[in-house]
Structure 1
Amino acid sequence: MKFHGLTCLFFILYFSSFGQIKNKKIKSEVQTIILSQSEEKTIITDNPVIDLSTQGNHQLSFDDLAMKNLTYHLRIIHCQADWKPSSLSEIEYLQDFNDVPIRSPKNSFGTKIPYLHYQVELPKVRISGNFIAMVYAQRNKRDTVFTKRFSVYENAITVAAKISFARPNHLRNTHQAIDLTLLYPNQLMLNSDDGLDIILRKNYQTENWLSKIPRAQINGQERKITFPFYDNENVIPGGNEFRLINLSSTQQKMTFVESIRQSDAFTEISTMVEVPQGNYSYVQRPDFDGSFVIDHYENGNASVASDYIWCNFQLKMEELADEQIYVVGAFNQYEKSLDNLMEYHASKQMYTKKIRLKQGIYNYQFVSNKPNTMLEGNYSQTENTYEVLVYFRKPGDRHDSLLGYNKLIYP
């Protein structure tokens, strides 16, 4: 069966927006989707980026709380820079066959909520670019369980970038800015910025902060590309450090835990009561820039020994009548949905939300469905991780290659 036929059309229309395939969890019983080199005490980021020359040691894992022991399969889909599926055939971008079976799940042990833990090695690809890991059940692509983005890069273009305070006085305390230079090799025919696509991501999220990048200035003699930012196109809100909750133990209170409630069927942990931070001065706090770690404090085998618990998030403030407040982080792909929509309790003057999470350490933030800087605030001192991804469609190619990548920690 050719995937780029009716099945692909169905998939795009049903699970994507305007042809873009996003990180999406379709089945609620599937939890803790991880694409990483390891999931044991490793910081798990969203939208991972892999070096083409060192690929082959990444794993895709997830838990099935339905305990039905279904047969799952993994399919890799190649996408362009805008995350729309390309027209390439599988043999053009994969080294092996597609439709990889995911067999022999491991049973959880010592947990109140049982689950099956699935793990499969990510197939190697032939080319750089954007890819989707699509998992579906019973060999039926219409029964898609989830989709997960990842990118593979090659070091053909050197990305020289620097993050600093925003220069305008009115933005200096709240925003950060990037200066960007690209160095390209002689064999890369680049006479204009046609075919060049540059993405700037903050804290591993999908949003591109250089959506209004100016025309590039190309110095053919020095093989250098620069970008003159005349109108603050390179300025980014600093945001704030992420909040943290340590759920690695159900026996003792860890960092920022207010209470632990045990029952025979489940464990509930409440966070310390939080307040909006936008009206306070900046306070430096260590965080994972929105990411999380799967960890079991009393047992080292976190992938199958960590229990699923109900985490009760608490935000004390007056109700925002025309806004909806959500709890977001890499653990839910920063998605604003009913699963993480907070409920207001007038008697307590507090927003709360219970979310089921696997034991570990989680970063999170409170966000609104409308522009709102009061909840978290913007500070130019905030430590952030930035990623620069440089795509280029070579003459004669039908796909966008990811030829340059750089990750920067500011400050």
Structure 2
Amino acid sequence: MKKIPGLIFLFLLMNFSIIGQIMNKKFKSEVQTIILSKSEEKTIITDNPVIDLGTQGNYQICFDDLVMKNLTYHLRVIHCQSDWKPSNLSEIEYLQDFNDIPIRSPKNSFGTKIPYLHYQIELPKVRISGNYIAMVYAQRNKRDTVFTKRFSVYENAITVAAKISFARPNHLRNTHQAIDLTLIYPNQLMLNSDEGIQVILRKNYQTKNWLDKIPRAQINGQDRKITFPFYDNENVIPGGNEFRLINLSSTQQKMTFVESIRQYDAYTEVSTQLEVPQGNYSYVQRPDFDGSFVIDHYENGNSNVSSDYIWCIFQLKMEELANEQIYVVGAFNQFEKSPENLMEYDASKQMYTKRIRLKQGIYNYQFVSNKPNNMLEGNYSQTENTYEVLVYFRKPGDRNDSLLGYNKLLFP
């Protein structure tokens, strides 16, 4: 397998938000519902999935093409360092098979008002742990990139012992959570310092690292333990709030939090129940998917090709916020603040609204501002959150960052 010259230059042409760092990004508006997950029906779709190196398989990439041109798409897997910048490894060093895999035989949607072609392909297995990008492009032209999707592969070389609790300082106890962290490493890692170790804490499967100011590690060579003395609340995280939910699995009957359904010849339109800011209210426990979503068709079992696309109108009743932009975010749009999910203010109704096209299913979402704003959702230490600890280490002599430890924690 030959390494493609100028590949990094290609990434710089692709308008990523951070130069050299590859993001989750969609480049074609006609491509919808991009999913990298286990292949089971009605599985919960999270962003930035993490896969065990020893039990790879049963993961797939799927997406829908609403233009129905039956284009030839190809999948390419790119190895990245811990900062999501492409590594200089050759493909034969990290892949078990060939790259540039054709995505063939799309399935036509069945019984939907909005027709589409459904593509899916099994994710190829990799040889080494670390960060990866699944890159899909059209017509064998790598510059015609359709989307990029992040995923990580870990190995259980470092044991991650972690615990989430309420924040200890009195002024943060009602609004924040905290992590206590210990790493246990094997004998063959011969660590004398924390050089080469990077610890990342993610919340609800999003990309942000909540331990960006982690202190220097303390290494106990006798017990093979690495601890982190948090002296200045570096391990404290805002609790946030439970995600809002809209059930779009049926176009025939009102499901959870649906206000109205309007049927048209070419499409169906659904309005959510009227929502309000939650930051000034007491915490209320609600079941959610921690920002994720599920593709589901209530009346038909085959959700991949029988689920229709619905125009969903999100509604937020409140006074207009001067000099702020309000967005609808969730795993369905990678929590990205983009023009596609920027809400508009209707002064006559005194509410923000946004019309977004979504595939039938159940969606978590939140309202966020382009500026710091706790009023929209609030911060509560009781909030049920999912945390992920990822431990990267560059072994002496290696040219890549290995993902040697991983742990997923549920709080409380």
Which TM-score bucket, shorter chain as reference? over 0.9
Describe the SS at the equivalent of 2:173: coil
**Which residue in 2 is equivalent to 1:31?**
32
1:186 aligns with 2:181: no
Post-superposition shift, 1:39?
5.2
Distance change >3 Å, CA 175–CA 4, structure 1 → 2: farther
- Equivalence for 1:42: 43
2:367 corresponds in structure 1 to 366
**Correspondence for 1:250:** 251
**Would you identify which runs of 4 or more consecutive aligned residues in structure 1 move more than 6 Å?**
none
Write the deviation string for residues 13-66 of structure 1: whole angstroms up to 9, x where unpaired. Answer: 424222100000000000001111125211000000000000021011000001
Residue 272 (structure 1) aligned with residue 311 (structure 2): no
Which residue of 1 is the match for residue 82 of structure 2? 81
Asked if 1:6 corresponds to 2:2, the answer is no
- The structural deviation recorded for 1:140 is 0.2
Does the Cα contact within 8 Å between 1:130 and 1:150 map onto a contact in 2?
Answer: yes
User: Given the superposition, is the C-alpha separation of residues 3 and 271 from structure 1 closer, same or farther in structure 2, using an over 3 Å criterion?
Assistant: farther
TM-score, length-normalised on structure 2? 0.99
Amino acid at match of 2:106: P
Task: Tell whether the 8 Å contact from 2:8 to 2:20 is kept in structure 1 after alignment.
Answer: no
Shift of 1:174: 0.2
What is the rounded CA distance, in whole Å, between the counterparts of 1:189 and 1:115 in structure 2? Answer: 54
What SS does the aligned partner of 1:289 have?
coil
Quote the offset at 1:210 in angstroms: 0.1
TM-score, length-normalised on structure 1?
A: 0.99
Instruction: Write the distance in 1 (CA, Å) between the matches of 2:406 and 2:167.
Output: 23
2:93 is aligned to 92
Q: Is the 8 A contact 1:391 1:402 kept in 2?
A: yes
What's 1:347 paired with? 348
CA distance in 2, matches of 1:36, 1:199: 21
Distance 2:289 2:165 in 1: 20
1:4, distance to aligned residue in structure 2 (A) = 4.7
1:117 paired with 2:118, answer yes
What residue is the counterpart of 2:199 in the other structure? 198
Question: 1:189 Cα shift?
Answer: 2.0
Instruction: Name the counterpart of 2:338.
Output: 337
Question: Is the 1:15–1:21 Cα contact (8 Å) retained in structure 2?
Answer: no
Counterpart of 2:64 in structure 1 is 63
Question: 1:319-357 CA deviation, whole Å, 9 max, x = no partner?
Answer: 001100000000000011110000000010000000000
Q: Distance in 2 between matches of 1:108 and 1:365?
A: 29
SS in 1 for 2:54: helix
Give the distance between the partners of 2:6 and 2:362, measured in 1 at CA: 42
Deviation at 1:188, TM superposition (A): 1.1
Cross-structure match for 2:155: 154
Give the aligned residue type for 1:209: W
Q: Secondary structure at the match of 2:300?
A: coil
CA distance in 2, matches of 1:302, 1:57: 18
Conserved 8 A contact 2:11-2:20: no
Question: In the TM superposition, what is the alpha-carbon distance from 1:196 to its structure 2 partner?
Answer: 0.3
**Contact 2:73–2:138 (8 Å) recurs in 1:** yes
Consecutive unaligned residues in structure 2, runs of 5 or more: none
Give the whole-Å Cα distance in 1 for the aligned partners of 2:194 and 2:262: 58
Residue 301 in structure 1 maps to residue 292 in structure 2? no
**In the TM superposition, what are the counterparts of 1:307-318 in structure 2 within 5 Å?**
307-318=308-319
Q: Structure 1, residues 224-281: CA drift from partner, whole Å, max 9, x if none?
A: 0000000000000000000000000000000000000000000000000000000000
Post-superposition CA distance 1:174-225 (Å, at most 9, x none):
0000000000000112111100010000000000000000000000000000
Contact 1:12 1:21 in 2 (8 A): no
Superposition RMSD on alpha carbons, in Å?
0.9
- SS class of match (2:121): strand
How big is each residue's C-alpha offset from its partner over 1:289-323, in whole Å with a ceiling of 9 and x where there is no partner?
00000000000000000000000000000000110
5 Å matches for 1:392-411?
392-411=393-412
Q: What amino acid maps onto 2:147 in structure 1?
A: F
Secondary structure of 1:21's counterpart equals coil
Identity %: 87
In 2, Cα distance between equivalents of 1:274 and 1:237: 22
In the alignment, does 2:229 pair up with 1:228?
A: yes
CA distance in 1, matches of 2:384, 2:194: 31
Determine the C-alpha separation between the residues in 2 that align with 1:209 and 1:337: 22
User: What is residue 130 of structure 1 aligned with on the other side?
Assistant: 131
Return the alpha-carbon distance in structure 2 between the equivalents of residues 140 and 107 of structure 1: 24
Amino acid of the residue matched to residue 409 of structure 1?
Answer: L
